[in-house]
Structures are given as C-alpha cells and as structure tokens.
Amino acid sequence: MSSEHPTQLEVDYTRTMMGFLLLDSQPASIAMIGLGGGSLLKFCHRHLPAAQFTAIEVNPHVIALRQEFEIPEDDERLRIICADGADFVRALPEESAGRYDVLLVDGYDGLGQSTSLCSQRFYDDCFRALSPGGVLVVNLHHDHPEHGVYTGRIRLAFDGNVLEVASMEKSNSILFARKNQRLCIDELRQSRPLENFAPEVRAQLQQEFSRIGWDIRQAG
C-alpha cells in the first residue's frame, strides 16, 4: 500500500481483477471473499460510490488490521464480515440469492487458497449468489497443479461462460465468469467503461484494460 495514495492499486493482478468493469461499469452490489490489505475494497469504495460492498474474511487478525491499512469503517455502503467465504455464499437465504452483481474471490493465506474456495459446490454457490448477468472474478495461479481442475469447475458452474487472462506479474491467472449471459471477447475489446471515471482511475486502469482486451482467451 502506498502511504501517500492508500486507495491506489499497487499490485498488477488487482488491476486485472478490476476488469469486471469491462462487463459492468456500474455494479450496484459487490462482494469480495478475502480481504487482505483491502486494496480492491478501498478502490471500489472510493470510485464506485453507488455500489454496496461486502467483504468476507475468515481471519479476525486480518480484519483487526483495517485501521493500519486505512480501510474505511463500516457504513451504509460497506460492511466487513468475519466468516468463511464458502460458508457465506452457501448460507445465503433464498431471498438473498442473486443479489450480487460482482463477486471477487481472492482468498489466500500463507498456505495458499483454501480448498473450500475451489470446490464445485463453492462455484455453484457463487453462481446462485450472482444476479442475472452477474460477474464472478477469481484469482488463481496458472502454475498450480490443479489449475485446470479449478477452471473446469468454474466452466461447469457457469455453462462455459468463462474467460481467462494472465496477470502481468508472478503466476496469477484471473478468470471472469458470467451468469446466464454469453461472454464475448469482442465485447470486452470494444467496451469503454472508463470514460465516465475520474482521470486518476483512467490512469490506473486504461493500460491494463487495453492489455486484457488482447490477452484474454477462452478458459479451459
């Protein structure tokens, strides 16, 4: 995190995950599994003022560091919940199913990603949690031995509507899946979601969004 610019996305793969704006530039409701340093949360809270944001983090010690990482306090647009992400989406009541326009999954600890966040049941529950046309964004590692298995599970849950793009750094592989709506590479390439955002947003995301348009491919 930059102390001078705490809402700036410093890590490449987080800018790639913001590629959901290419599919929905004004989501009303966003959920994120895995808080970490809160960079995606802070960015969305600042630059998507019409969106409600729910973060689910299993580790209370991570949540306890929110002031150190300058994460805003809960308010009418933001809440942070201490819970297992897989349990959270599974336990959504029927009236809450389909409530999220975007679901970000970046649930890692020192040992990697929890197996509960890679299961077929989890991805099926993510599908249920999303609104029609809603977007799932998952941070995976393309050199993980089970990468193909996880990608296949997402494809199965979302009826093949899955695209993948490698991040510029390390081995991050970002998957975009859409509920009940075909994902088209040409649509992403023609999308201009940043035109109505502040110059600081365009400065952070424009180059990455252009790269996504040319590097994205069908997953699996």
What residues are annotated to the active site? 106
Radius of gyration over alpha carbons of the chain, in Å?
A: 16
Cα distances (angstroms) measured from residue 12 to each of 23, 34, 182, 191: 19, 17, 27, 20
CA max distance for the chain = 43
Q: Which of 204, 196, 195, 208 is nearest to 49 (CA)?
A: 196
**Measured between alpha carbons, how far apart are the two ends of the chain, in Å?**
33
